[in-house]
Amino acid sequence: MAALNLAAIAPRSSARLGIYAVVAVVVAATLALAGWSTPSFLTIDNLFVVIRAASITGIVAVGMSYVTISGNLFALSAGQLSALLGIVYALLVRTDLGVSASCLGVMGVAILAGMLQGFAIAVVRNPIITTIAFGAVFAGLAALISANGNIRIHDATAAWIGTVRPLGVPIQSWVFVAWALFGLFVMKKTWIGRIMTLSGANRLTAAATGLRVEVATATALTMLAISSAIVAIFAVSQFSQAKADMFAGLDIDCIASVLVGGVALRGGQGSPIQAALGAALIALLQNFLLLRSLPTGVRFAIVGAVVIAATSGFHFLQRRGQ
């Protein structure tokens, strides 16, 4: 009976391949158009810039996809949490703990922050208000701990983590791909991934079936927090400093990536891979517009229009696939 109930609330995914195809075609078309109209776009140096930008946003976007798929819309605290974790990492590196222990300490703080947010959402039942409040707490702690200044580090191991390029590709990009593939495995092959998907598809029915919806929410926020920790470690290691405003705008970029990737806003449909593709598309588009020397306002307007068009188109495809 339980299996029948789970099948009854499982979301249909007949439009998923169509969404993947659309995102892939748009990414390829953006590459072709940008390369044809702007010769400097397809240079090796610029492509590395795009790859690195897509990786930083994409790692957190993959974490954000868990939140959306589990039926909790978005978390508006990822940027503030990333900044706080970056400061914690910098302070730990400056002690005698070493980089490895510092990374473990940051991950521990991230997991605690993610679980607290998840269970708070389960109580308040409003992910937007809850994560805005937590974001304010994280921002306040970041400013307090850093005294509103830069915390600089001088560690060869940390610098290596931030700048190493295996096979000529930034390490952040390798981690981005691995994290997206791991997210696909979690959502498709594990029990908790299945619970997150079912909870997002129909929260009330999932709860009535006996599924622990609050555990799914806490897990989703924890995965986002771990994503924030990964990005914080890489960013602080790369620039050898941490400050309270170093991830301004990260939330908006991640949300745009999730939407452009075609993850269903209502929950229950989508994949971390889609969020990763969305991050790649946003990074390509932003870089192309920057190379064309368009004003900041125009660039924001174009990216916003793309997000609206993509969200509307994917919503149409998802409704047809039901």
* Each residue's pLDDT tens digit, 155-196: 999 999 999 999 888 999 999 999 999 999 999 999 999 999
| Lowest-pLDDT range of 4-8, 164-168, 185-189, 287-291 | 4-8
102-108: average pLDDT? 97
Cα–Cα distance measured from residue 27 to residue 277, given in angstroms and rounded to the nearest whole number: 8
CATH of domain 11-320: 1.10.3470
| Lowest-pLDDT range of 17-31, 79-93, 138-152 | 17-31
The DSSP 8-state label assigned to residue 247 in this structure reads T
Residue of higher predicted confidence among 134 and 17: 134
Mean pLDDT (the chain) is 87
pLDDT surpassing 50 at residue 2:
no
Q: Which amino acid is at 133?
A: A
25: exposed, middle or buried (C-beta count within 10 Å: 0-12, 13-18, 19+)? Answer: exposed
* pLDDT at residue 3, rounded to an integer: 44
The DSSP 8-state label assigned to residue 152 in this structure reads E
Residue in the block written with tokens 């249909």: 12
What DSSP letter does each residue of 71-132 carry, written as one string?
A: T----TTHHHHHHHHHHHHHHHHTTTS-HHHHHHHHHHHHHHHHHHHHHHHHHH--HHHHHH
| Lowest-pLDDT range of 198-202, 242-246, 303-307 | 303-307
Taking the domains of the chain in order of start, what are their residue ranges?
11-320
* pLDDT at residue 269, rounded to an integer: 86
Q: Measured between alpha carbons, how far is residue 255 from residues 57, 68, 147, 216 in Å?
A: 10, 9, 29, 20
* Each residue's pLDDT tens digit, 250-282: 998 899 899 888 888 888 888 999 999 899 888
* pLDDT at residue 4, rounded to an integer: 40
Residue of higher predicted confidence among 309 and 172: 172
CA proximity to 10, closest of 229, 297, 202: 202
| Lowest-pLDDT range of 10-19, 104-113, 159-168 | 10-19
Residue of higher predicted confidence among 29 and 99: 99
Q: What is the pTM of this model?
A: 0.88
